[in-house]
Amino acid sequence: MNKRRPTRQVTLGDQRVGFVKIGGGLNGTEPAPVTVQSMTTVFTHDVKACVAEINKLTAAGCDVVRVAVPEKKDTDALREIIPQVRVPIVADVHFHFQRALEAVESGVHKIRLNPGNINDRKQVIDVIQACKARKLPIRVGVNEGSIIERKDKQRRLKELGQFFSDNKRGYLLAIMITKLEEYLDIFYEQDFHDIVISAKSMDPVTVIEAYSEISKRFDHPLHLGVTHAGPKETGCIRSVTALGTLLANGVGDTIRISYASDPVFEVEDGLELLYCLGLRERKGAELIACPTCGRIQVDLISLVQDVRKKLAAEIKMPIKVAVMGCIVNGPGEAEGADVAVFAGDRRGIIYVQGEKVANVPEEQILDKLLEECKKFEDRVKRGEVALGEKKVEIIPPDPIGELGSGWQKIAESKSNATTLTIGKS
């Protein structure tokens, strides 16, 4: 992991919804944790549905929520929406700069402008001045889909010619950066620096290259995203390839994973990415599970899904929980888990930090595992134990003997073994 790139910090929010900082490290600021954003999918003017979706995203851990405001009835609706939510709201403005001015008046916390479709200098200055008066940041977001000039025919012809040349990606980057520079000059002339930048493409390699270049040229925080990433099933890989690479290189201050799915998945996967990279402190349990193989002893795939849902709903502490399909490799693969279950012969043996606490039939594994997780969480709260403390030891023939399976394989692979150890040594 590379050190995070220092940026000019921006702050959005208010006393009621709270303040969220993006970026930092310059001008005496501490870098803020990387934040997760998402966007609503319902009509913004459908106040009830919009509030419900924003609150669902907030409950999932979303730090900032963006809403589309294509019509005046949408910016009007913000006056009713904002008092009912507990998260900073960003108005996503395309084509009509008036929507930005209306959104500012309606109490929004940040504006997103796209240089590809709001580029009239006077209009941009009006938006900048309105945001400056309210101390609101602006995200300048260029997108692959709208970066090629549409109005000026000659410029469009030239840009399209470059775009469809052999070095398509290179020219796309050049156009993105040139337009960003031109656009940001207007902001600098107005002495406006509360800026966040994004430069999205559907191609992860272009995203990596674009943000890497931009990070060298500007000191504003970067909002990372892969646009039009597709459904969760494939969009996840597309997004994580680009965002994970950039974040590991120290580039990126806020992220949005985009799916053609329920946006709650965007938040869950965005947070998981940040947890995996150690960029956010994990909230809730961490689940480790084996991929299963020919040694499998229970219906582990279903069990893991059930455990995942229960842990997400009921455990608030970062307890490490392992669900392993057999006793052959399970203990080693669950190394470091606080609570672990190893399956064998349609049963599950449950361990809590070194102590075997249960041996139950397959149908009782889920409930018993959750019960032990809750008990463990309570003990941590009372200060009796600490997370990640103590090693788990499994001493053959217990539990292998009890399970009535696996021992032969253990004996073959570890002929002189007397102790299997799980956890920190």
Which spans of this chain sit near ligand SF4 (rule: CB under 6 A)?
A: 290-293, 295-296, 324-326, 328-330, 333
Choice between 197 and 328, CB closer to ligand SF4? 328
- From the CB of 308, what's the least distance to ligand SF4, in Å? 16
240 class by beta-carbon count within 10 Å (0-12 exposed, 13-18 middle, 19+ buried): buried
Least distance (Å) between residue 330 CB and ligand SF4: 4
3-state secondary structure of 158: helix
Query: CB of 404: closest distance to ligand SF4 in angstroms?
Result: 16
CB of 373 to ligand SF4, least distance (A): 19
Q: Which is nearer to ligand SF4, 111 or 324 (CB)?
A: 324
Cβ partners under 8 Å of residue 294, min gap 6:
none
DSSP letters, 209-270, are HHHHHHHHH--S-BEEEBTT--SHHHHHHHHHHHHHHHHHTT--SEEE---SS-HHHHHHHH
DSSP codes, 256-284: E---SS-HHHHHHHHHHHHHHTTSS---S
Between 251 and 341, whose beta carbon lies closer to ligand SF4? 341
Q: CB 394 → ligand SF4: shortest distance, Å?
A: 13
C-alpha dihedral sign at 297, 357, 310, 65 = negative
Look up residue 90 and give its amino acid.
Answer: V
Closer to ligand SF4 by CB, 245 or 329: give it: 329
Q: Which is nearer to ligand SF4, 255 or 369 (CB)?
A: 369
Residue 329 falls in which region: left (phi positive, over 0), alpha (psi -120 to 50) or beta? alpha
Least Å distance, CB 72 to ligand SF4, is: 57
**CB-wise, 64 or 290, nearer to ligand SF4?**
290
The residues near 152 (Cβ < 8 Å, ≥ 6 apart) are none
- From the CB of 295, what's the least distance to ligand SF4, in Å? 4
Paired with 352 in beta bridges are: 339, 355
Contact 399, 359 (CB under 8 A): yes
Q: In the complex with ligand SF4, which residue's Cβ is closer, 90 or 324?
A: 324
